[in-house]
Amino acid sequence: MKCTLPGKLLTNSIDTYFAEYLAKNSHSARQFTSLLCLSMAIAGFLFSLISSTANAQIEVTLDENMSTPIFNSTLSEDAEPRPDILYSALNKNTIVGEVLNNFSYPIELVRITATVYDKNGIIVATGDKYVNDYLIKPGNRSGFDIFLDETLPSKTKYTLTTSFEKSEDDKPEALQLSIGKNSKSSNTFRVLGEVMNQGKDDANAVKVSAILYDEKHKVIDTDYVFTNPDIISPNKKAPFEFSLYVDNPEKIKSMAFNVQSDEYSLITDNGQNNTIPQQ
C-alpha cells in the first residue's frame, strides 16, 4: 500500500533513526503507513463535513412554499402605477384577458407576466406575453393570452404582473378598418375583413388584433393577424382573416378590433377599439 503525504523531509537524528527502524521492520512500517493513511482520510472527511455545513445553501423541503403569495390581484414590479387588467381567466393552460391604458399618455411594450400556484401555494408554472397591440393609447385596451407549457393541477391560482414603457410615439389615425362576414363551425370561429390606408405614406407591418367576448363581456379569446400583404400603400386596401379555435363558438356575442402599423393607428370616433356585435 502506498500513501503519499505532502510535507518536507526532516534530517534530524530522531527522524533518521525512525526511518532506519521502519526500514528494518517492513511489516511494522506497512501497518504504520496504513494507520496513518486511514487517520488522514478520516480527518479530511470530518474537515470537509464541517466546511460544507458551515457554508450550506438555503434548504427547502419538497412541497413546501417559503412565502404565501397574494392571489387574485395585479402586482407591480415597483411602486409605480400600472395599467389596469380589466379581466383575466385561466382556460385550461392559457390565461386570457385584456388590459386598459389608464394613463394620460400612450404606452408601449406592455407585458403581462403570470405566476401560477397550486392549492397549497406552491408555484407550478410561469409565463409572460406582450399584449397584442404595438401601442395602447389613453383609454384604449388590448388583449393578451399567456400559454403555460405545463400540465396544471386542479384548483390553481395565479397572479399577474404588468410592465410597460411610456411612449413618445402618438401614431396618427389613418387606418380604416372594415369587418366582413363571420362564420362558425363546431369549434372554429372565422372572421374576414380589410384595412384601408388613408395616410400619406406606406403603412408597414399592419397588424389587426381581436378580443372575443361572451354575453357578460368576459374575454373568451384574443388573437392578432397581419394583413395580406402587411404593407399597404396610400389609398390602398389589404384583407385579413381570423380563424380561431374556440370550444363553443356560440358563446361569442361581441368582438373588439384594433389595427396599427409602424406609422399609423385605427381611425375611430371616440378613441376606443371598435366593438362589433356578433352577427
The least confident of 145-154, 156-165, 202-211 is 145-154
- Average pLDDT (109-116) is 94
Other CB atoms within 10 Å distance of the CB of residue 252: 20
- Average pLDDT (13-31) is 46
pLDDT of residue 170 exceeding 80, the answer is: yes
pLDDT tens per residue, range 50-92: 444 344 454 443 444 444 444 444 444 455 677 889 999 998 8
pLDDT at 277: 55
pLDDT at 21: 40
pLDDT of residue 107 exceeding 60, the answer is: yes
Confidence of residue 112 (pLDDT cuts 50, 70, 90): very high
pLDDT tens per residue, range 176-190: 999 988 888 888 889
The least confident of 6-10, 112-116, 244-248 is 6-10
The least confident of 24-28, 143-147, 219-223 is 24-28
pLDDT of residue 12 exceeding 90, the answer is: no
Confidence of residue 248 (pLDDT cuts 50, 70, 90): confident
Residue 101 CB contacts under 8 Å (≥ 6 apart), including other chains = 83, 107, 110, 136, 137, 138, 139, 140, 141
pLDDT at 15: 43
pLDDT at 264: 96
Task: Decide which of 40 and 125 is more confident.
Answer: 125
pLDDT at 153: 86
- Average pLDDT (100-129) is 93
Cell of 270: 371616440
pLDDT of residue 47 exceeding 50, the answer is: no
pLDDT at 57: 54
pLDDT, the chain, mean: 78
Confidence of residue 159 (pLDDT cuts 50, 70, 90): very high
pLDDT of residue 173 exceeding 70, the answer is: yes
pLDDT of residue 169 exceeding 90, the answer is: no
* 9 vs 198: CA distance, rounded Å: 94
pLDDT of residue 224 exceeding 80, the answer is: yes
